[in-house]
Amino acid sequence: MKVLILGGFLGSGKTTVLLQLASKLVKDAGETDGTTVMIIENEIGEVGVDDKILKAQGLMVKELFAGCACCTSGGDLLQDIGEIQKTVNPKWVIVEATGVAYPRAIKESVESNFKIPVGIVSVADASRWQRLWNAMSQLIIAQLDCADLVLVNKVDLVEDKFADDVASLIHTFNPNAEVHKITAKESLGDEIWSKVL
């Protein structure tokens, strides 16, 4: 079992990216006897919205309402992962974290408790980048500085040079990340996922 953490601010396009990623994993697995993908949806509110979209696509979803995958310990998340590993043991678990999550803390917690590979995919919103950067640059850095793959989404809504500048800035605080400029509503090529799959 492998874990992928999907991070990014609310409205950045995480669920759209998640649907494409999960579909690719299922397609690549072909016919299997077991479950390929299990998704842990971390909702801030009391009612899940995104999970209905995911379930409509035939994906297995576990909601994490009471707990929070943004905390360092993430006790509820760890309990869910342990339960999934024992009962379902899929090839992949995708954790769609809240918009205020710290992916590094989640990764360290999961790795130290389960000794399984954990990758991080973060989605950045090009159309709101400047406004968010001006208000909370340190949180943005904390969300992106340990990502294996950063998807700068909604580049169709900004000038090409601005999208290039965002990608360059991300490389200054995460030189190891693979950064792709995307429009998530369009089909993402298989080569985008090579860094984390």
The residue segments making up the domain with residue 172 are: 2-189
Query: What's the rounded Cα separation, in Å, for the pair 177 and 179?
Result: 6
Write the CATH number for 129.
3.40.50.300
196 is a domain residue: no
Angstrom distance (rounded) from CA 6 to CA 103: 8
Tell me phi and psi for residue 12, to 5 degrees. -80, -15
Is residue 57 included in any domain, yes or no? yes
On whether residue 103 sits in a domain, the answer given is yes
Write the pLDDT tens digit of every residue in 10-67.
889 988 898 889 888 888 887 666 678 888 876 544 444 455 555 555 566 565 444 4
Per-residue model confidence as pLDDT tens digits over 80-126: 899 989 988 888 999 988 777 789 999 999 999 999 999 999 999 99
Nearest partner of 120 among 176, 45, 185, 47, judged by Cα: 176
DSSP 89: -
Residue 197 inside a domain? The answer is no
Q: E-strand spans in the chain?
A: 2-8, 37-42, 60-64, 92-96, 118-125, 149-153, 178-181
46 in a domain, yes or no? yes
Reported pTM: 0.86
* Structural domain includes residue 194: no
Q: Is residue 135 domain-resident?
A: yes
Count of domains for the chain: 1
pLDDT in tens, 127-161: 999 999 999 999 999 989 999 999 999 999 999 99
